[in-house]
Amino acid sequence: MYVVMIAPECAPVAKVGGLADVVQGLSRELMIRGNAVEVILPKYDCMRYDRIWDLHKVFGDLWVPYHDMHFHCDVYFGFVEGLKCFFIESHSFTNFFNRGIYYGHNDDPERFAFFCRAALEFMLKANKHPDIIHCHDWQTGLVPVLLYDMYTHLGMTHPRVCYTLHNLKHQGVTGEYILRQVGLNPAHYMTQERLQDNFNHGAVNIMKGGIVYSNFVTTVSPHYSEEIKHTDLGYGLQHTLHEHGGKFGGVLNGLDYNAWNPETDPYIAHRYSINTLDDKYKNKEALRQRLWLRHDYKPLVAVVSRLDHQKGVELIRHAISYSLANGCQFVLLGSSPDPRINHEYWQLKHSLNDNPDCHLEISYHEELAHLIYAGADMILIPSAFEPCGLTQMIAMKYGTVPVVRNTGGLTDTVFDANYAHRPYHERNGYLFNDFNYQGMESALHRAIGMWYSHPQHFRELMINGMRYDYSWNHPGGHYINIYDYIKE
Ligand code: ADP
């Protein structure tokens, strides 16, 4: 099969969060299974160019219709971890992708609407006729709409579209002008069955367009697929998902064990496996040395996260003082595009600067993240909601026990040491229900107690987590089935 991924992120070159890991990991899995896979991305100025191999221009004359103009683009090609990637560079005066950050501008809907049009225009001009176009999140939601509206009539009759929803909180709700910009007729599309937002009838909902016009829609875990259909976590798209329920399902994300594996990880101090688990503690020491933490007989609790309200920033703050007061060390690696949250965490960092049991690293740091997963005893994920969550799966692979809120993909992957309806050898962490201090404390308290009082049981939990197979093997098979199904 020939699959083209159109996405706003791909790890490790353009990564904000899990979406990037998914695009890279799923593409790689599809390739290993013998499919031809290509990825189309914007060419951002802030990408990790050091992680692209053999980047060169392959298409110098792409003119993309936009509003009543044509914007000139160059297309570059390069390999990312062996994956074939095309990068669209726009030369418009609007400087769409040279902004120093990936998201967070007022004209984000325009930037990515343009990207959708440019990706299809490139495929048309480059004569690409994939079996499947796989789009990700609202940023690419206009691809199936544009394909249906114009590109099938221009000869792209072949591709079928799979659309994956990574986070319903961000839907690309914007003015109807966006339709005109990309050449769609607002009179036709501004209806309830099509792209009109379910609440704000004057607005276009790009993610809704993606749902309506794709051949199949997935989200990133089975539990989240139910939550977004039946609760407020659908952020207004519940009804649309119900209407299109026949072509919608949850597929749990996988992890690329090529990138996340303590047996081969180049970024950790000492490699280890279940059989050499004691070597994990050499990483704990290395982490302590690197972050100026004292050597002591204490569990190390870690957070690796975007600092966003979704991730429970308030609870994380509380967890720091709770952990320090209850005999733990604490390490946080996180950053936020929201200056207020960043400022708060910088203040907290300054107030804890002299504490030999705590280090807050307010940044995005891919390599340090690996050492934290390897060196920590527990990872805390107190999310308000979590579509899938990769950090708990990464942590488990590294023998780090997850302490998480019972929501979304966390529910699908973490099974409580005390309360899970599963045999002991399948239990791998701690869950809490209530999104408040008491809820979180109840789980942290149990985890810390187990570490101190029953180290052998705690070690069993670590090993149980390491034994789980959260690779792309199973989800890769699910996606192939979906592709086969919509191709027929
Ligand atoms: P989300 O996509 O909502 O941010 P996920 O758990 O799905 O959350 O994916 C998060 C990914 O981003 C993981 O690979 C995690 O290691 C990485 N990550 C998050 N914050 C940081 C950071 N500050 N530095 C390095 N990596 C980070």
Number of independent structural domains in the chain:
2
Query: Do 62 and 202 fall into the same domain?
Result: yes
Q: In the prediction, which pLDDT does 106 show?
A: 93
328 lies in some domain: yes
Mean of pLDDT values over 189-217: 98
Identity at 309, one-letter amino acid code: H
- Is the pLDDT at 93 greater than 90? The verdict is no
Exposed / middle / buried, residue 365 (Cβ in 10 Å: 0-12, 13-18, 19+): middle
Residues 217 and 287 in one domain: no
| Per-residue pLDDT at 335 exceeds 90 | yes
Which one-letter DSSP state was computed for residue 429? B
User: Can you tell me which atom of ligand 1 is nearest the CA of 333?
Assistant: 23
Our CA angle for 316, 168, 188, nearest 5°, is 155
Flag whether 15 is in a domain: yes
Q: What is the CATH number of the domain that holds 482?
A: 3.40.50.2000
CA-atom Rg of the chain in angstroms: 23
In angstroms, what is the span from residue 233 Cα to ligand 1's centroid? 20
pLDDT value at residue 198: 97
The answer to which of 11-15, 157-161, 268-272, 335-339 has the lowest mean pLDDT is 335-339
Question: What pLDDT is recorded for position 97?
Answer: 96
Ligand 1: centre distance to CA 12 (Å): 11
Quick one: pLDDT at residue 298?
Answer: 98
Q: Are residues 383 and 412 in the same domain?
A: yes
Q: Is residue 129, in this structure, part of any structural domain at all?
A: yes
Mean pLDDT, the chain, rounded, equals: 97
| Domain ranges, residue 221 | 2-254+473-487
Long-range contacts of 411-419 (CB under 8 A, 24+ apart): 411/223, 412/221, 412/222, 412/223, 412/252, 412/388, 413/221, 413/252, 413/389, 413/468, 413/470, 417/446, 417/447, 417/450, 417/457, 417/461, 418/446
Mutation choice for ligand 1 from 137, 310, 390, CB with most ligand atoms inside 8 A? 390
Are residues 156 and 176 part of one domain? yes
Same domain, 286 and 209: no
Are residue 382 and residue 296 in the same domain, yes or no?
Answer: yes
Ligand 1 atom nearest to 335, measured from its CA: 23
pLDDT of residue 19: 97
* 264 lies in some domain: no
Pocket lined around ligand 1, Cβ cut-off 6 Å: 17-19, 21, 304-306, 333-335, 364-366, 369, 388-391, 394
Q: Are residues 242 and 303 in the same domain?
A: no
> Do 338 and 381 sit in the same domain of this protein?
yes
State residue 168's pLDDT score. Answer: 98
Rounded distance between C-alpha atoms, residue 400 and residue 402, angstroms? 6
Q: What percent of the chain has pLDDT over 90?
A: 98
Cis peptide before 159 (omega within 30 of 0): no
- Average pLDDT value for residue range 18-31: 97
Report the atom number in ligand 1 closest to the C-alpha of 391: 6
Using pLDDT thresholds of 50, 70 and 90, give the confidence band for residue 488: confident
Within-domain flag for 265: no
How far away, in angstroms, is 334 Cα from ligand 1 center? 8
Instruction: Check residue 154 and give its pLDDT.
Output: 97
Residues 227 and 152 in one domain: yes
Q: What is the pLDDT of residues 397-454, one digit of tens each?
A: 999 999 999 999 999 999 999 999 999 999 999 999 999 999 999 999 999 999 999 9
Residue 266, in any domain of the structure:
no
pLDDT, position 216: 98
My answer on whether 407 and 482 are in the same domain is no
Which residues have CB under 8 Å from 106's CB, separation 6+? none
Across 12-37, average pLDDT: 96
269 assigned to some structural domain: no
Residue 100 clears pLDDT 90, i.e. is over it: yes
Q: Do 35 and 173 belong to one domain?
A: yes
Q: For residue range 276-309, what is the model confidence (pLDDT) as tens digits?
A: 999 999 999 999 999 999 999 999 999 999 999 9
Which atom of ligand 1 has the smallest separation from the CA of 392? 6
Q: Is 185 inside a domain boundary?
A: yes
Residue 193 has pLDDT above 90, yes or no: yes
Answer yes or no: is pLDDT of 381 > 90: yes
Q: Give residue 391 CA to ligand 1 midpoint distance, Å.
A: 7
Distance 404 CA to ligand 1 centre (A): 15
Q: Is-contact 328 355, C-beta < 8 A?
A: no
What's the pLDDT score for residue 46?
Answer: 96
Q: What is the pLDDT of residues 42-73, one digit of tens each?
A: 999 999 999 999 999 999 999 999 999 999 99
Cα 129 to ligand 1 centre (Å): 33
Q: How much is the pLDDT for 337?
A: 84
Same domain as 155, residue 90: yes
HSE-up of 479 (CA within 13 Å, CB side)? 35
**pTM (predicted TM-score):** 0.96
